[in-house]
Structure 1
């Protein structure tokens, strides 16, 4: 594909801390650079709570080597932070899984949405996909919530019995419910109750203007590489994009932070002496809560936990979108981010993984790219 000389530059960023790497992941990342699918990327894998691989390849932007310290966009790979936040509220007795959303967000109870529960939101079976699921917008928080609440339940949709991934709308609902129950905005809650306790110093859902300036060039842009010309996505450039709170899309950080998040979940809610959740809460979040349903957004059968995509290769390992490669165990859970990232945990081998690249080449190319990359990761770690 014709994507310009900048995206065909060699992987000059090199490898940072690639202990135990046999080379297949690095080779595939370099191949993607040569093909113009991305400029560079980061990979981090932990086994049994210890770092097993940490890789930075290529460029963060044309002419600037990628390092392990760059903050990459995670997009929907950050959605599970909301699931963990919900688990914390659940443990505190502030809400329950089968609470109607309207119990905590009364204005949601309109246009057929009165019976939709928090469980339906977390399993993407509520049926209130809207324009918010099709665009990134810099509207105010109040405007976002008003639009979600005004959305209609989709025709012929029985909540809990029909499935369709809600790209953005469901996570606005969860974040607003959290704000009303706890009192803190979602981004502040995640920083104070999840990121900071785990030592995820560079994980953010929003950045202040001061924070944006302080990070400077460590904030790696995301490029669309589909078509004849590549270019950075304008919405995410500048302080205004960095300051926009989109709970289902605005997460960013080095991938090591995301890998540590999954290592915490593998530890039953605890990592390095810091406990965020009880083991039984983690078990509920990552158990199969939705099984065998056709997803009307993705066009494929996909199983779900509460805010987590559960390994679904039983429905077609070569075709299931946003899976975890050819070698992941049936208990693997995690979440992908739009054409760019994935974080997951495989309990069968104690593996926590995060990967992000800075090029979006279109869904077809991306799905093949990550299927091959995540499969190769298991090979590099002698797990396949």
Structure 2
């Protein structure tokens, strides 16, 4: 039996959204495809537990039209899913987010890392942004633990905010296994994805049987990106950047967060856990990777009140929180309005294009909220 999608459809007008402004947003995406900035995309906007818009654009792969069933590489949008697993472990009493990582992952303290807390890890203050996990450790838990415990510090933990593209969330994956005995992919599926009834549309660790649904991730020159295009990469469920999903699945996930950890009567987190996670832990300190304050929460970042912000839209309410995927996507939720937004595309664009593009698309979505 097919499980119904957890967000029932509603018209934009029913949800206090301006249909004309949403059509203008869609036209902007179509214009970017026509200008060959990317070949395909998907957009979803939801509010108050209902889906106002879910539309696919262009091609998923050459000659293959993007459809509602297409799965898109989430890149770093995956970080919020992985972080949510730690939030859940904290509310279950398995750890405290103020604990040091080494308390739950013995051996991690080597090289001066013993005082790093989960808060510092998830807010990109841990001090090892350039550390990498080799492919041979993706499916070898003992090797993964050895690699992350051997990460070398580049600066004193807590002294800087600098985005960790992959390393911090590999540590989170190792902690999930150390604390639960379960692979992070299985833990996320069992505790977050399946309870939200998103198992057909959201994956951290993509089964090979789902590969025909995947949109190729391409470079600006049109070539397929590797290793992203390999089944090994898709299956690995890289915790900081390897998830796959539909835009409506990500809009639904953010609806759950906006709903205090519950969606359609199914709870994955407590309201207080979500509130704790989406606080601003880094104030207006600049993130040296992004060149601006990012107002880091424990997974997502927040709009805040600085003049500019990456991806969430210039006119967003200060409490809006979300995350992006490098050069290709952004997903967010706005607690003030109850709106969630997900834009996914299949080209890893330059930041010179992607940053302004996402500021424009997100701003247009916020401008469509009229009541």
Specify every segment of 5 or more residues in structure 1 that has no aligned partner in the other structure, as ranges: 1-16
In the alignment, the residues of structure 2 paired with residue 307 and residue 126 of structure 1 have an alpha-carbon distance, to the nearest angstrom, of: 13
CA contact (8 A) 1:24 1:377 kept: no
Q: How does 1:1-384 map to 2 (within 5 A)?
A: 19-20=11-12, 21-22=19-20, 23-132=23-132, 137=135, 139-140=137-138, 141=140, 142-155=142-155, 157=156, 159-201=157-199, 202-207=201-206, 211-212=207-208, 214-225=209-220, 229-312=221-304, 314-317=305-308, 320-321=309-310, 323-382=311-370
1:326, 1:375 within 8 Å by CA — same for their partners in 2?
yes
Give the length in aligned residue pairs.
Answer: 352
Within 2, Cα distance between the matches of 1:217 and 1:44?
22
- TM-score normalised to structure 1 length: 0.87
Aligned counterpart, 2:5 = none
Cα displacement (A) at 1:18: 9.9
Q: CA deviation at 1:148?
A: 2.4
Give runs of ≥4 in structure 1 deviating > 6 Å: none
Displacement of 1:378 after TM fit?
2.4
- After TM superposition, give the deviation of residue 248 of structure 1 in Å: 0.4
CA separation of 1:177 and 1:108: change in aligned 2, threshold 3 A: same
Shift of 1:216: 4.1
Say whether the 8 Å CA contact 1:72–1:252 is kept in structure 2: yes
Are the equivalent residues in 2 in contact too, given 1:324–1:374 (CA < 8 A)?
A: yes
Structure 2: which 5+ runs fail to align?
1-8, 13-18
The 10-residue stretch of structure 1 (180-189 or 141-150) with the greater mean CA deviation from structure 2: 141-150
Task: Report which stretch shifted further, 139-148 or 233-242.
Answer: 139-148
Q: Confirm or deny: 8 A CA contact 2:30 2:57 kept in the other structure.
A: yes
Distance (Å, rounded) in 1 between the aligned partners of 2:271 and 2:153: 35
Per the alignment, in what secondary structure is the counterpart of residue 148 of structure 2? helix
Residues 19 and 54, structure 1, Cα contact 8 Å, conserved in 2: no
User: How much has 1:254 moved relative to structure 2?
Assistant: 0.8
**2 CA distance for matches of 1:164 and 1:81?**
20
How many angstroms apart in 1 are the aligned matches of 2:215 and 2:33? Answer: 16
Give, in whole Å, the separation in 2 of the partners of 1:66 and 1:380: 25
User: 1:42, CA displacement in angstroms?
Assistant: 0.7
Correspondence for 1:5: none
Distance 1:234 1:19, change over 3 A: farther
